[in-house]
Structure 1
């Protein structure tokens, strides 16, 4: 499973289902809400937290940026069902000190009663990661060497995948075993819209291309899995430190999350994304750290590709 920090008051709602080779996590707010109300999720990516709280990269103070975002999401009127940090949680190589500092900030979120879910990016390292979050190591391996999970909602299920291949190597890979798990899990949860979340970007290269792969090495196979299930609405990814929306040839949304840390292009925004899922629509809104950025507050509302079965 992905690393899940569940506040003590909500842990009794956690259920493991090995029959479907997935972990399903629930929370009181989800169960108490009405069928018509929207689900809200706070989507973060590329926090790049270093052991040194004062570390700066490309002009960005990573620890301060993360804490500013935490301030914002804790002030949200509609509290999210959970906070998802989509990979590259650590600075470069996923050192123990990086995760110790990360834990200090993340504790602010869980203390406020919100679950935190994290995926693995190429700058993460699983062993030190679990060293800092010892109690969160899963009892059963669901996909060998990977961290996967299903987060349920009223109108859509979120599928978290693990694209970390080699620590501190830019490209990522899901692998055959995880792709089989994803295909099986999507098929077994076809009664609702599906949203997939993973760190690496899909990289579409011409057949026979010898170009360096900086994104997802098995993009073609991954997209085939998404296309095989008509209820798949979107894939959220980080890694490229950008904010943009595109679509696959068959209409699956590809949503590039902005980084919490630094941008590669100084004209692009950093920040986080508020995801709102309603009965018939999915909406994303950019919450830029720089409130004067022209794209701050930019939102997109899209109808589900698949109508939820009642």
Structure 2
């Protein structure tokens, strides 16, 4: 059973809860109890670096994001989180709180797909999000393909868990099984553009050649750095082939704070930053003035976007 079949079966089983299967094109009818809006099948919301920390400020900032997603009309059919779902070392209480915060998305008609970051721990994660593991394309890793009418999004697992579970500073990497699976998937072209995503920057996962060598890959999107940053990778100095890369913000830990909307159009996809604020290393207190540098970054980031042109 592939991911689409799995989600369709879940949708059928959960029809009484208002979960509706995705339509083939454009905006689809309402989903979720008491909600009468529509879904945009070509709109994806990307969030990252949630760092769910019970008793601190991060959870409230994530609740703001969830509320804004549910207030959208049309809603994005898909929401993807690019890892660091837990605060530091993937504790049970962090995942328990995260599940509680994300609960309003259940039954909303939104398909939620999660990735691992270096602050996540597989053994604890699966206790609270077993459906994410059950629908993975590969065993022992969290790998998914999110399908939209105009482009597919491959979500990889770049987590290298340390032997010492109390540490979290580990570089990102893809195991051999993921790398082989990705190469096969990119070579099995369906004619649709493909995005590749994971938690870590592309310099850590080292798949530059796979992406620039693919005739359908149009972009690489990641988290980890808590900033909005666009860049690109090249196939070689003698080739015009490039692939754009995008780092998306944190929902509320430090750095650029917000979420990203990726809208698939006919010949391109446009990622738009929705930034609430900027702070480092933590938010200013209510009685403190906002540093001028923070305000300048917020002003610079109003309405910024990154365009991914589909390969021809």
Normalised TM-score (structure 1): 0.77
Q: State the shift of 1:12 in Å.
A: 3.5
Q: Which residue of 1 aligns with 2:259?
A: 272
Deviation at 1:27, TM superposition (A): 6.3
Counterpart of 2:88?
92
* Residue 304 of structure 2: aligned partner: 298
SS of the aligned residue for 1:89 comes to coil
**Which residue matches 1:162?**
157
- Displacement, 1:183? 0.8
Question: Deviations along 1:25-72, whole A, 9 cap, x unmatched?
Answer: x9634325379x87000000000002x2x21xxxxx210110101111
Q: Is the Cα contact below 8 Å between 2:41 and 2:76 reproduced in 1?
A: no
Structure 2: distance between partners of 1:276 and 1:80? 9
Structure 1 residues 148, 136: CA separation in 2 closer, same or farther (over 3 Å shift)? closer
**Secondary structure of 2:263's partner?**
strand
Q: How far apart are the structure 2 equivalents of 1:202 and 1:75?
A: 33
Which of 141, 148, 160 is matched with 1:146 structurally? 141
SS at match of 2:221: strand
3-state SS in 2 of match to 1:42 = strand
Name stretches of at least 5 consecutive residues in structure 1 with no aligned partner: 15-25, 56-60, 204-215
Q: Deviations over 1:264-286 (max 9, x none)?
A: 5xxxx211000000111110110
Match of 1:112 in 2: 108
Q: 1:100 to 1:300 in 2, by over 3 A?
A: same
Question: How far did 1:114 drift?
Answer: 1.1
Cα distance in 1 for residues equivalent to 2:105 and 2:266: 27
- Describe the SS at the equivalent of 2:80: strand
> Does 2:21 match 1:28?
yes
C-alpha distance in structure 2 between counterparts of 1:89 and 1:82, whole Å: 17
Cα deviations by residue, 1:163-188 (Å, 9 ceiling, x for unpaired): 00125233111122211100101222
Q: Is the 8 A contact 1:199 1:238 kept in 2?
A: yes
Partner of 1:72: 68
Tell which deviates more after alignment, 144-153 or 122-131: 144-153
Look up the SS of the partner of 2:269 in the other structure.
strand
Would the aligned equivalents of 1:27 and 1:81 in 2 still touch at CA under 8 Å?
Answer: no
Distance 1:193 1:46, change over 3 A: same
TM-score with structure 2 setting the length: 0.77
**What is the distance in 2 between the residues matched to 1:45 and 1:223?**
22
- Aligned match of 1:40: 43
Residue 256 of structure 1, CA deviation: 0.3
SS of the equivalent of 1:80 reads: strand
- Counterpart of 2:284 in structure 1 is none
Partner of 1:235: 220
How well do the aligned residues superpose, as a CA RMSD in angstroms?
2.9
CA distance in 1 between partners of 2:188 and 2:13 (Å): 21
Total equivalences in the alignment: 265
Give CA-to-partner distance per residue, 1:134-177, whole Å, 9 cap, x none: 354427x7434211111111110010100001252331111222
**Kept after mapping to 1: 8 A contact 2:222/2:246:** yes
Say which of 244, 253, 258 aligns to 1:253.
244
Structure number with the bigger relative contact order (C-alpha 8 A, sep ≥ 6) is 1
Match of 1:226 in 2: 211
Larger Rg, first or second structure (1 or 2): 2
Give the 3-state SS of the residue equivalent to 2:231 in structure 1. Answer: strand
Deviates more, 1:155-164 or 1:254-263: 254-263
| 1:288 is aligned to 2:275 | yes
> Aligned equivalents of 2:144 and 2:98: distance in 1?
21
Work out which of the residue numbers 127, 149, 152 in structure 2 matches 1:131: 127
